[in-house]
Structure 1
Amino acid sequence: MPVPPPILDVFVVWHPDERGGEQVLTGLQQHFHSSAFSGLAGGAVEVYGRSAAWDDRGAPRPIDVGTQPAQTEVVVIVEGTELARAVDTEPAWAGYIRSALAVRDRGGAVLVLRKADYRGGGGVLHELVDGMQALTGASWTDAAVLGREVSQAITQHVAGRGQITVFVSHTKTASLLEDSTFDGQPLFAKVRTAIAETHLGSFFDAQDIQAGDDWVRVLNEAAAESALLMVRTDRYAGREWTQREVFEAKRHDVPIVAMLALRGGEERGSFLMDHVPSVVCDPVNPDAGIAAALNRLVDEALKRALWQRQRVYLEAQGFDWLPVHAPEPVTLGPWLQEHRVTSPDDRHVWILHPDPPLGPREREVVTELCAIAGYEDATVDVLTPRTFANRGGRLPR
């Protein structure tokens, strides 16, 4: 398989005398090399540092990686006292920052991470970066917050949208074994409070549906257009409307994360609720779990945006369907119906989705459903970028 070009290059720029810059680079490298992004094709995301002098002029090497630039370049400027001084007094650094800002002219983005102890001023650096999106103060001290803030800003840039909206899917009905309040708040209300402290938006049915709205339509549209967070408490899986919300989100291939906060357990669960990333949340002390779930949801939103960018290259290999989530009955059924109508002469089903791959028994179920739809077993192939490359990057002909 020809390796698709990189989709995203992130460059962290800091002055070598600025303490903490190396930690920012390491934190972002660990974040973007995590399992959340490893399932994409090829080297979809890479993170580079730009700090040490490249030659006797004192500035780092240019913002580029040679002959194969990524579709999108993002520069994170660590704004601090040392960089401000260098931009004011050293022409090489002033020119370098101006060249870094020029990535915007070729479709890139620039983010500013302001050091917690930096008070700013009226210098050249302030003039150059004034008005740009600054990452929150907690990003400097909390690597998880830094990763979320950078991922969210990149998602908004790549997808061409504004704020990521989190549809919070929850049930207000507590089980007998659940303590439904935490410091006077239900768990889903604590989720909303946590979202309000980020740059994320939120959608809650009770607060966000206005009188006179078609509430069924509004709920369905919100679940289909947002990133969906499942607040999975004891009775969540068995409620009609939570099932419908997850159903609509899966059918529209939007990011979904399950926050598991069970106290007494579930009567039977639901096949609609699984096959998504999950984060454990302690229902007694939920703050850490809520933060982890929101962080993962933002990463899922970015993964979706990057996968959509890669599709233009991967479709050229001949695949019929490239969903961002592995196929399952909820999503495979309607796609097979559409495929039979739009491509009636096809005698194959070739599916590519991000890693990890389906297990053998999961593949059997997919194959059986395809056979029911009229496709023979030998014409069905469900692959990921890794399994496709291991096969030699070729589909059967």
Structure 2
Amino acid sequence: MAEPTNENLGQPFFVVHVVWHPECVLGKVIADALMHHFRRDIYRNIVGGNGIPVVFRSACLPEAGTPIPVSLNDSETSATIVILDEHLVSSAEWLDYVQRISAQVKEFSREGFKRMLFPVSIQREVLAKSSVAQQALRWDTWEGDDDAKVQRLRRELTYEFCRMLRYNLAQLEVPTERKIDEYLKKVQVFLSHSKHDDEGAEIAKAIRLRIYQGHGLASFFDVHDIPAGLHFDEVLLHQVRVSAMVAIHTDSYSSREWCRKEIIEAKTWNVPLVIANSISTVDERSFPYMGNVPLVRLGHDATDAGRIDIVVGRLLEEVLKDYLWRCQTHEIRATLPVRAIFIPRPPELISLSCIPMVFPEDQEGSAPQDLVLIYPDPPLNTEEERLLSRVAPHVQIRSLNEWKAGAFR
């Protein structure tokens, strides 16, 4: 098996820059929250953080009034968040610094949506003092305390980053001139639920309503239905394959044939998946393939908008991770032999059932040759590795960083 040879394996695909004036106390709070969320919290199982790099620009150079410049060439694509407050817009040096960033982003606009600028206006008064404020996220108009606003900012930035990465993934797969309607295209959401529990249908309706009422979510997610006149099972399974899924796990969910089919289809096609735990009393036989993905306690109260927001937020994060993984590994996949397969989440037994055991070039009757299954870090624990190795001894299972380091047995 060939070892990694891509010269840019160490270069991040996507980087987030956060810029704020050093006297803006709230700017530091926002920057830290974004760093923890995108670098570490989205990748909760990764000790020390190994998610999206977040670079700060606030501390000024010696004998200078601004930080070192933001570099937009150190990654394939990037997002720059500028916290606009009275300190920044009152400084000619800082306004010039931000304007230079804006000019760099515009230079890259000829390549599509590879570099984006997201100003955040935390005070209404700044809008008239900076030209970049015209496209600002209006923190100053949002309801709630600073913690609530930070959560909303993370959510809004998450689905904007999803748009960026989806656009860039399409560009990688089929390089061509792409228009803004492709950037704004929605992500399909499939709400998998049992109609044999009253709560299941009610919760599905509540999630649908919350998405369409929530600011920004309706412009990103589309909760779809199956049109009349089409064959139910064929359309349903197709929709699962092209969607992100929320599985509403009520008491009867695991006992329903179509709910189980939807979970297996979602796992087979590696779609972003979140389990919303809404067990009321007991699940007599929990379906074994509902693990290995985020599990969020939703409860069976369809009116709890706060819990629904948490479920939808986790789904957004799963969509972001999926697009980022596919972007990060696109060039690597193109240079590898067919026997290296990339999957967007840690492998499990169902992962082994979805990979070919025989390839076209294998000679009839010959023993299976080694296959490498590559997944996002962190590495599996020893118990999981042993189990998978017993089931498929000819499959080498490596996290991406293990594979980059040439960790082959």
TM-score, normalised with respect to structure 1: 0.80
Name the CA distance, whole Å, in 2 between partners of 1:189 and 1:333.
Answer: 34
Do the aligned residues in 2 keep the contact of 1:168 with 1:203 (CA within 8 Å)?
Answer: no
Per-residue CA deviations over 1:154-204 (Å, capped at 9, x if unaligned) read: 1110111433333222223227xxxx39xxx92222222332214234455
User: Match for residue 65 of structure 2?
Assistant: 58
User: Match for residue 384 of structure 1?
Assistant: 399
2:85 counterpart letter in structure 1 = G
SS at match of 1:210: coil
| Partner residue of 1:10 out of 13, 16, 31 | 16
Do the aligned residues in 2 keep the contact of 1:168 with 1:230 (CA within 8 Å)?
Answer: yes
Distance 1:54 1:214, change over 3 A: farther
| Partner residue of 2:204 out of 168, 188, 194 | 188
- Structure of higher RCO (CA pairs closer than 8 Å, 6+ residues apart): 1
2:161 is aligned with 1:154:
yes
User: Match for residue 78 of structure 1?
Assistant: 83
| Partner residue of 1:363 out of 385, 390, 395 | 385
Distance 1:365 1:121, change over 3 A: closer
* Correspondences of 1:284-299 after superposition (within 5 Å): 284=301, 286-299=304-317
Structure 2 residues not aligned, in runs of 5+:
109-113, 168-182
Distance 1:104 1:261, change over 3 A: farther
Name the CA distance, whole Å, in 2 between partners of 1:210 and 1:365.
Answer: 43
| Partner residue of 1:333 out of 344, 353, 368 | 353
Distance 1:121 1:153, change over 3 A: closer
* Correspondences of 1:208-223 after superposition (within 5 Å): 208-223=225-240
For residue 308 of structure 1, report the CA deviation from its aligned partner. 1.2
* Correspondences of 1:296-335 after superposition (within 5 Å): 296-312=314-330, 314-315=332-333, 320-335=340-355
What count of residue pairs does the alignment treat as equivalent? Answer: 367
Name the CA distance, whole Å, in 2 between partners of 1:367 and 1:98.
Answer: 55
Distance 1:17 1:365, change over 3 A: closer
Distance 1:262 1:141, change over 3 A: same
User: Match for residue 95 of structure 2?
Assistant: 94
SS at match of 2:88: helix
2:208 counterpart letter in structure 1 = R
Structure 1 residues not aligned, in runs of 5+:
371-376
User: Match for residue 175 of structure 2?
Assistant: none
For residue 260 of structure 1, report the CA deviation from its aligned partner. 0.9
1:147 counterpart letter in structure 2 = R
SS at match of 1:30: helix
2:186 is aligned with 1:163:
yes
SS at match of 1:186: helix
Distance 1:212 1:313, change over 3 A: closer
SS at match of 1:96: helix
Between 68-77 and 31-40, report the one with greater CA deviation. 31-40
Distance 1:118 1:52, change over 3 A: farther
For residue 21 of structure 1, report the CA deviation from its aligned partner. 0.3
| Partner residue of 1:128 out of 119, 132, 152 | 132
User: Match for residue 275 of structure 2?
Assistant: 258
Do the aligned residues in 1 keep the contact of 2:119 with 2:132 (CA within 8 Å)?
Answer: no
Name the CA distance, whole Å, in 1 between partners of 2:374 and 2:71.
Answer: 30
Distance 1:138 1:45, change over 3 A: farther
2:297 is aligned with 1:280:
yes
Per-residue CA deviations over 1:216-262 (Å, capped at 9, x if unaligned) read: 34322322122111111111222222222222222221111111121
For residue 304 of structure 1, report the CA deviation from its aligned partner. 1.2
Name the CA distance, whole Å, in 1 between partners of 2:361 and 2:61.
Answer: 55
| Partner residue of 1:268 out of 260, 285, 289 | 285
Do the aligned residues in 1 keep the contact of 2:270 with 2:344 (CA within 8 Å)?
Answer: yes
Identity level (%): 23
SS at match of 2:340: coil
SS at match of 1:24: helix
1:264 counterpart letter in structure 2 = T
User: Match for residue 373 of structure 1?
Assistant: none
Do the aligned residues in 2 keep the contact of 1:237 with 1:243 (CA within 8 Å)?
Answer: yes
Per-residue CA deviations over 1:123-180 (Å, capped at 9, x if unaligned) read: 3x1x3342466678369542333222222111110111433333222223227xxxx3
RMSD: 3.2
Do the aligned residues in 2 keep the contact of 1:169 with 1:204 (CA within 8 Å)?
Answer: no
Do the aligned residues in 2 keep the contact of 1:228 with 1:249 (CA within 8 Å)?
Answer: yes
Between 287-296 and 254-263, report the one with greater CA deviation. 287-296
